[in-house]
Amino acid sequence: MNIQAIEKVKMFLIQALFVLFPLFFLPITQDAFGLNKFALTVFFIILLVGALLIKFVIQRKLTISHTLLDTSVLLLLVSTILTTIITTPNKVGAINVLPFGPVAVLVLVLIYLFVKNNKPNFMALAIGAGIISFLSLIFLTNPFATYTLPPVFTFLKSPTFTPIGSSLDLMLYVSFFAIVGIFEIFKKKGRNVVLLGIGAICLIAIVINGFYTVKNHLITLPPVDTSWLSAVETLKKPETAVFGAGIDNFSSQFTKAKTETYNTSTYWNVNFATSRSAILHIWTEMGLVGFAIILFIFTQTGLTLKKLIKNKDEYASVLTASGIYLVLVLLLFPPTLPVLFLSVVYLGIISSRVESKAWVVDLAHNLPLYLTILFLAAITIPSVSYGFVRNYLGEYYFKKSLDALPKGVIDPIYRPQQQAILLNPSIEKYHTTFAQVNLLIANSIALQRKDNLSQQDRQNITQTIQIAIQEAKAAVALNPQKSANWENLALIYRNLVNVAQDADSWAISSYERAILADPVNPQLRLALGGVYYSLQQFPNAANMFSQALTLKSDWANARYNLAWAFYQNKEYEKAIVIMQDIFRSLDKNSADYQKATADFAMFKDTLKKATEKVQVPVSPDEKEASSESKLNLPTKPEAVVSPKIELPVEASPEAAVE
């Protein structure tokens, strides 16, 4: 194979990636879009690196061209690696995280370098954008609405389906090419009809999809103020100020930065995993170092565009306009793989249009260095590929397990999750889900054999309980800063209150740790109050319900639980006052309103009898809440084992997890 043929192969691979990237997805992983687009990109990068190595073997030369823009992009990779090593809690799990894990950033840097050195044009990118725009218009008509599709293809019935991912991803991606099409209109000569047509299709897709998305409220974005506070939160410690909170650790900063006003918003019960702004996200996870590097990239991009304008480059205007657009997108919207992919391709394109000095290093007479480079390549490429394949297979088995959940058969759920954990033991969601599955098995055995529990049944329950606790604690050990991991552990303990000794105190301890990590979350206090309520520690329960109500004063269910805690503690007057306030937040025609009315009448009747010194029931029979009810009291788990199973001290939340 001659050098010219290798160059043609490289150009073909780059153009093929440009076309396929927005279109490629596979419904075999939980993240059908981002992960599979990244897998496609990794596949093409491996082929491109392979072609480059073949060229290196033939020529025995290294050609190195370097600009300050190259330096700024490479520094982002260095920053990601340093953050992962220094401040990231779950270091191994963060390696393959999208979109800012070290492997992801490495792949994006390689895309930039290949685009810069091979000088492709916009056309292949635009073709891919035009196709997804056209497909989005077709799916808005819901063409498969009347067809019976296999479960794996039911997503095709969604009018908002798009191969690129979400409606927001679609609009942000194709808007870039709408700008390119608009600039083609104003060209005095040499207009590209294809780009004009693609720009028109993209513009139509943006308008129609945007109208549909806004009308149906399909996009929920993280709040700007809390995103800003999350970034500022990192400044409180020198280590996080410099290197950030760590890769894939934005959610822990978000829970720390939330204020009580957050609970007045419509998304009060959501903890976002990304910032509202990609730039703020980088600052939060990579600190001031990452933020400074982003500013450096922007500065060098501006200087590169200035050179293009000075050199009267024919694409200088459209590249400047599209560059400003990308900066605004990164500033105003959360980070997504499609936008980051488009951004690094854009950087590669503008860098390729500016002349840079190249150094040619001839290794024909330096055999040790030549062999060293080949040796490093022979180790690095297979290692990275092997790690990514393991990560991908873990996601495949995890999705396989989730697909089996509705069938209710344990084995197809259990074994794939085991396999996912074996392949990648550093993924927190694998451990939390596997913990819940083991809890389900333990409760199922306890419920089925509750009247005739054999010694073997007790052993099986003990074993599954220990696995459930071990897996929940494993997630906590991977990242103890995440409130969700502590909440999951607390939920496991809470469901074992009637089965295992000390589960109640362990649940309380875990909820307290969750609250420390997410101090203004009213749901955690309601849940902890529910544990106290089920233990008949009504003063403690009332205290927690009251704190939940302080954090979210319009939460009817917290008020309802507080009223009942007072009632159960024989503080009837307080119960009546609290219950009376509930009606203002309930629809008069709702089942909840009728339920509160009945309880309010019972409270007043009980107070009257208590005043007359008549015996009153403290714990009357509770009516079963309807599925639509928002007013619910804490309930104990159905599974009961007597005598309770005694677990080793290692099962406690305070014990270390290996």
CA terminus-to-terminus distance, the chain: 52
Task: Name the nearest CA neighbour of 86 among 281, 285, 279.
Answer: 285
Three-class DSSP labels, 247-305 = CCCHHHHHHHHCCHHHHHCCCCCCCCCCCCCHHHHHHHHHHHHHHHHHHHHHHHHHHHH
108 CB-contact burial (10 Å; exposed 0-12 / middle 13-18 / buried 19+): buried
In this structure, is residue 113 part of a structural domain? yes
Coil, strand or helix at 360: strand
Residue 65: its pLDDT value, please?
80
Residue 287 contacts residue 247 (beta carbons within 8 Å): no
Residue 450 in any domain: the answer is no
Residues 306-345: tens digit of each pLDDT = 999 999 988 999 999 999 999 999 999 999 999 999 999 9
Q: How far apart are CA 644 and CA 637, in angstroms?
A: 14
Residues 275/227, Cβ–Cβ less than 8 Å: yes
Q: Would you call the peptide bond into 643 cis, given omega within 30 degrees of 0 as the criterion?
A: yes
Q: What confidence score (pLDDT) does residue 656 get?
A: 55
| Six-digit token string for 459 | 């052993």
Q: What is residue 128's predicted lDDT score, i.e. its pLDDT?
A: 95
> Could you count the other beta carbons within 10 Å of the beta carbon of residue 309?
13
Q: Residue 613, Cα to own-chain centre: how many angstroms?
A: 57
Task: Identify the pLDDT of residue 43.
Answer: 96
Examine residue 651 and state whether it is found in any structural domain, yes or no: no
Whether residue 99 has a cis bond before it, omega within 30° of 0: yes
Helix axes 102-118, 34-59, angle to 10 degrees: 50
**410-450 tens-digit pLDDT:** 889 999 999 999 999 999 999 999 999 999 998 888 887 76
| Closest to 133 in 3D by CA, of 57, 64, 51, 197 | 197
Q: Which pLDDT belongs to residue 589?
A: 86
Mind giving me the DSSP string for 91-135?
HHHHTT-TTTSHHHHHHHHHHHHHHHHH---SHHHHHHHHHHHHH
635 in a structural domain: no
173, 21 contact by CB (below 8 A): no
- Are residues 40 and 17 in contact, defined by beta-carbon separation less than 8 angstroms? yes
Number of domains in the chain: 1
- Residue 639 in 3-state DSSP? coil
Tokens of 338: 């499609």
User: Shortest CA distance to 331 belongs to which of 257, 272, 281, 258?
Assistant: 281
123-139 vs 193-215: helix axis angle to the nearest 10?
Answer: 40
What pLDDT shows up at residue 25? Answer: 95
Find out whether 641 and 458 touch, Cβ atoms under 8 Å: yes
Residue type, 165: G
- Residue 637 burial class via C-beta count within 10 angstroms: exposed 0-12, middle 13-18, buried 19 and up: middle
Q: pLDDT value at position 543?
A: 97
Q: Is 542 domain-assigned?
A: no
Task: Write out the E strands in 18-69.
Answer: 61-65
Query: What's the token pair of residue 406?
Result: 């509705």
Phi, then psi, of 468 in degrees rounded to 5:
-60, -45
Tokens found for residue 455: 């010694």
The pTM score is: 0.92
Three-state secondary-structure class, residue 329: helix
Q: What is the DSSP letter of 647?
A: P
Could you list the residue range(s) of the whole structural domain that residue 66 is in?
3-362
Whether the CB-CB separation of 548 and 558 falls below 8 Å is answered with yes
Question: In degrees, to the nearest 5, what angle opens at C-alpha 349 toward C-alphas 136 and 62?
Answer: 130
- For residue 618, what pLDDT is reported? 56
Could you state, in chain order, the average pLDDT of each consecutive group of 10 residues for the chain (658 residues)?
Answer: 87 96 95 96 95 90 86 96 97 94 96 93 91 95 86 85 94 95 83 90 95 89 95 95 96 95 93 96 97 97 95 92 96 96 96 85 84 89 90 95 86 93 96 94 81 81 92 95 95 90 93 96 96 94 96 93 94 92 86 90 88 63 55 80 78 68
Is residue 398 in some structural domain? no
Q: Are 236 and 256 in contact (CB under 8 A)?
A: no
> 342 in a domain, yes or no?
yes
User: Considering the domain boundaries, does residue 96 fall inside one?
Assistant: yes
> Looking at residue 179, what is its pLDDT?
94
